[in-house]
Amino acid sequence: MYPATDGLLVAAMSEPSRTAISVVAPCFNEQDVLPEFLRRVGAVLDAVGGTSEVVLVDDGSRDRTWEIMTAAAAADPRVVAVRLMRNHGHQLALTAGLSVCRGERILIIDADLQDPPELLPDMMALMDQDADVVYGQRRQRDGESLFKRATAAGFYRLINRLTDVDIPADAGDFRLVTRRVLDLLLAMPERHRFIRGMVAWIGGRQVPLHYDRHARAAGESKYPLSKMIRFAADAITAFSVVPLMASMTIGWVMAAVGFGFFIYSIVGWFMHATLPGWASIMAAMGLLGGMQFLMLGIIGAYLGRLYDQSKGRPLFMIRDIVGGRK
Ligand code: UDP
Ligand code: MG
């Protein structure tokens, strides 16, 4: 489905029908914010000038999102409405939009207006100074619970300790990337995508743009705690095998402790000082059993992802594409 990495640059240079800018937004049940989103993005693109497109991906919404999108596509040739077969989740919906878009520069943004599209000109100015990626970095986060902020902060600390990739804290997927970076991103076939990490992994010159993150314009977050935990697990397992290696370290420690117990019991036996030992056996069993289950779980987490990946199914399935320039 994706072009091979070799020759990507050539393909990008010879691609005939590019627009200057693509704005790509995944939308899941966003009927309440979409009209305002389209109005504000449209105004920004008018101000920036040049050719542009807005690629909206309907990620299996159950509300009127698709109707609003297709109406917008009918009214404005810049709007491209993409509908997926079903809900694929934020990262894969975004990937679908990115694979459809044709811009030389691509703005990745959420549809909920938490990240202001008005920053596009500033991002473009930074990109003009030879940047491959300009990522939004949040100064403050309005309307997000203390819990969400604390878990996010803890998560970024953890992932940066566990991985070699420098993933900037307090940055979401809101960013402007070049076509070159996008093609490299799309050439990565992995299924459990942590896009901000994958973009960081690509490298090049990546510069932050500081901004204040607002509360959602309307509707509610589609990221409940369960999805956040899954997202964090995807991120860590996609970029780090440290948890897998941890079983080795713990194994060595447990082996050393076990050896100590062995010597102790032999010596004790020779000295006729062995105790009934119920407590120590139970303690050791509990500890070892717990550790083994933990390690099996970690191995399972990787194995499951490996299995998913090995199936090689398409990452997303598009049902319709409506509108846009021909
Ligand atoms: N989203 C999506 N599919 C999903 C969940 C979310 O396309 O299954 C979109 C959603 O419409 C929004 C973006 O991903 O444009 C970010 O979601 P949300 O704002 O709910 O997350 P939060 O900002 O609360 O972390
Ligand atoms: Mg949001």
Q: 217 vs 87, which has greater pLDDT? A: 87
Distance CA 245, CA 299 (A): 10
Q: What is the pLDDT of residue 12?
A: 47
Q: What is the pLDDT of residue 176?
A: 98
Closest atom of ligand 1 to 94 CA is 7
Sign of CA dihedral 44, 46, 50, 53: positive
The winner for highest mean pLDDT among 5-9, 141-145, 183-187, 234-238 is 183-187
Instruction: Please tell me the least confidently modeled range out of 89-98, 191-200, 276-285.
Output: 276-285
Distance CA 161, CA 48 (A): 40
Q: What is the pLDDT of residue 2?
A: 41
Closest atom of ligand 1 to 112 CA is 15
Q: Which of 22, 200, 34 is nearest to 107 (CA)?
A: 22
Q: 79 vs 236, which has greater pLDDT? A: 79
Closest atom of ligand 1 to 93 CA is 7
- Which protein residues have their CB within 5 A of the ion that is ligand 2? 110, 112, 114
pLDDT bin (cut points 50, 70, 90) of residue 5 is very low
Q: What is the pLDDT of residue 7?
A: 42
Residues 3-32, mean pLDDT to the nearest whole number: 73
Question: Percent of the chain beyond pLDDT 90?
Answer: 47
Is the Cβ–Cβ distance between 178 and 133 less than 8 Å?
yes
Q: What is the pLDDT of residue 198?
A: 93
Distance CA 122, CA 108 (A): 15
Distance CA 112, CA 115 (A): 8
Q: What is the pLDDT of residue 266?
A: 77
State the Cα angle at 72 between 70 and 74, rounded to 5°: 70
> Counting ligands in written order, which one lies closest to the CA of residue 228?
1
3-state SS assignment for residue 113: coil
User: Which residues are near ligand 1 (CB < 6 Å)?
Assistant: 25-28, 30, 59, 87, 89-90, 93, 110-112, 114, 221-223
Residues 207-227, mean pLDDT to the nearest whole number: 88
> Counting ligands in written order, which one lies closest to the CA of residue 222?
1
Q: What is the pLDDT of residue 95?
A: 98
The winner for highest mean pLDDT among 51-65, 135-149, 241-255, 282-296 is 51-65
Is the Cβ–Cβ distance between 30 and 37 less than 8 Å?
yes
Mutate to test the pocket of ligand 1, among 98, 222, 228, 234 (most ligand atoms within 8 A of CB): 222
Q: What's the 29 CA to ligand 1 centre distance in angstroms?
A: 9
Take residue 22 and report the two structure tokens written for it: 């693509």
CB neighbour class for 285 (10 Å; exposed up to 12, middle 13-18, buried from 19) = exposed
pLDDT bin (cut points 50, 70, 90) of residue 275 is low
pLDDT tens-digit readout, 99-129: 999 999 999 999 999 999 999 999 999 999 9
Q: What is the pLDDT of residue 10?
A: 43
Q: Which of 166, 164, 295, 172 is nearest to 223 (CA)?
A: 172
With 70 as the cut, is the pLDDT of residue 81 above it?
yes
Q: 275 vs 88, which has greater pLDDT? A: 88
Q: 6 vs 273, which has greater pLDDT? A: 273
Q: What's the 30 CA to ligand 2 centre distance in angstroms?
A: 10
Q: What is the pLDDT of residue 11?
A: 47
Average pLDDT, the chain: 86
Count each helix (H run) and each strand (E run) in the chain, helices first: 11, 8
pLDDT tens-digit readout, 299-312: 888 888 888 888 77
